[in-house]
Each structure stands twice: as C-alpha cells, then as structure tokens.
Amino acid sequence: MWLGNQLFMVVSDPAIVKDLLVTNGGIFSSRKEMFIKSQIVFAGRGITATPYNDRWRKHRRIASWWLNQRAVDTYTPILDREAKDLVRTLYEASKGGSVPVNPQVHAGRCSLNNITSITFGLRTDSIDHPPVGRALNLSREFMQVFPSVVLDDAVADDRINRNVTGPVSNLTDVVPLLQHNLNPLLRRARRLRDNLVETYGGMTKEIDEKVDGGVAVDDCLAKSMLEARERRI
C-alpha cells in the first residue's frame, strides 16, 4: 500500500519475517531516516532512528558492551536502589498515604536516575534537583505530552502541531514537500535538539574534562564512548 510517496509492504507470515529480518537482516533490517526525528532532532546519530551504516554499527558495538546479559546483571543494584527510593519518596510525599500525590515526577526521577547512573555515573537526590525538571520537559516534548511548564514561545509557535516526533512530523516523510512548509515544527525540533545537546552533552563534556584532567571517573557508558572515540573503533 502507498502512503504518500512511500510503498509499504505488510508481511504476516512469521517464517517470511524471520527470513527477511534474521537470515537477510543485513539487507532488510535497516531503518528509514525520518526527517524530523532522525535528521533534525538526533542529527543522524540516534541508534534507534538511523539506517544501517558504519556509524550505526559503531554505535551499536559500543552500546552492546553495556547492554549484554553480563553487563545488565551488574545494573541490578542500581535498579533495586532506585525502586526502593521511589517507594520511599512516594510514601513520604503522600504523608504515609494520607494525602494524594502525583507519581509522575517521582517515577520520572526514578527512570532518569537509572539512565544517568548507567550512562553518566550520576544521579539526582530529589525531585527538586534541576536536572529532573529539565529531563522531564525534554521527554515530554519528545514523547508528545506537552505540559504547561514548557516555554511559552514553544507553545506559541504552533498550537496545532503539539508533538515534535508524532503523527504530524511523520507526514513530512510521506509528503516531502511539507519539510519546507513546517517552520514552527522545525524550530521546535531544532530547539529540542539544542536542549538535548546542552543537557546530556554537557554531562558528557564534564566527564571528558575530568578524564583529560586526570580525575577518576566511575565506569559508565559515556566514559566508554569517549575512550572509543580516542581509539577510533
């Protein structure tokens, strides 16, 4: 079936799916480089949103060091710690269950700590820690949940196209002409990219400066990526 200028094929036979994606995965398992998500927001560097190429293979090789079974088993203490901390903070925030509490920000901090502990060797100690608010706003913008705390100019840009990587942005892939006619959405996508670089790139830069300065840095994904960059693997 055709969607815009793209031809889609639906495969419903598991044997054929296995033949395409496993036996011939090098040919058929690549990803289409979506205009907004991949080219604008991730600037061609997102491992989940880029086509099969040398850069993707390099990123996958680095990520596999930290996502294989043996590595994942070592994360259990981190996951247990954050799960216990989540229960504790929910109990305290609800005053022992006597008052209602919105669990979203607490769950968001729990997820953020799991990610940043593994990736950067860092964690936040409360929901009031500035990185929590920044990370939640970035994820909401990316995941289509647009809160009232997002900058006013972002809302004013376009009150119809409320999701940077959702259905409206997908239209730019099936109707390429729209890539030149969605200026508000493009501005928001570029702002999201810049904010992601500033927030998470800043954490990586801090680790890089510590390593260059001879400061001890805990093992983490960012440190491995920086070392891999030096070795040009």
**The one-letter amino acid at 224:** S
**What pLDDT is stored for residue 40 in this prediction?**
84
Q: Is the pLDDT of residue 151 over 50?
A: no
Decide: pTM greater than 0.95.
Answer: no
Domain annotation covers residue 5: no
Q: pLDDT value at position 232?
A: 57
Q: For residue 74, give the H/E element and its range.
A: none
158 pLDDT higher than 50: no
pLDDT at 184: 76
What does the pLDDT read at residue 96?
A: 92
What is the pLDDT confidence band of residue 162, given thresholds at 50, 70 and 90?
A: low
Structural domain includes residue 2: no
Average pLDDT over residues 119-144: 81
How many residues are listed for the chain in this entry? 233
Q: Does any domain span residue 141?
A: yes
- pLDDT tens track for 210-226: 888 888 888 888 888 78
Task: Write down the pLDDT at residue 160.
Answer: 39
> Is residue 120 in some structural domain?
no
Ranges 45-49, 67-71, 168-172, 228-232: which has the least confidence: 228-232
Nearest Cα residue to 140 out of 119, 112, 181, 168: 112
Q: Where would I find the H helices in 68-182?
A: 69-73, 76-93, 104-120, 130-142, 152-157, 167-174
Residue 100 falls inside a structural domain: no
Render the burial of 194-207: b for 16+ CB within 10 Å, e for the rest. ebbeeebeebbeeb
* Range scoring the smallest mean pLDDT among 158-162, 183-187, 191-195, 204-208: 158-162
- In this model, does residue 146 exceed pLDDT 70? no
Residue 103: inside a domain, yes or no?
no
Reduced to 3 states, what is the DSSP secondary structure of residue 137? helix
Q: What is the pLDDT of residue 196?
A: 87
Residue 44 lies in a domain: yes
Number of domains in the chain: 1
pLDDT greater than 50 at residue 233: no
- Domain with 70, as residue range(s), is 10-74+129-231
Q: What is the pLDDT of residue 15?
A: 95
pLDDT 10s digits, 50-64: 888 888 888 788 778
Mean pLDDT computed over 223-233: 71
Q: Is the pLDDT of residue 180 over 80?
A: no
In a domain, 225, yes or no: yes
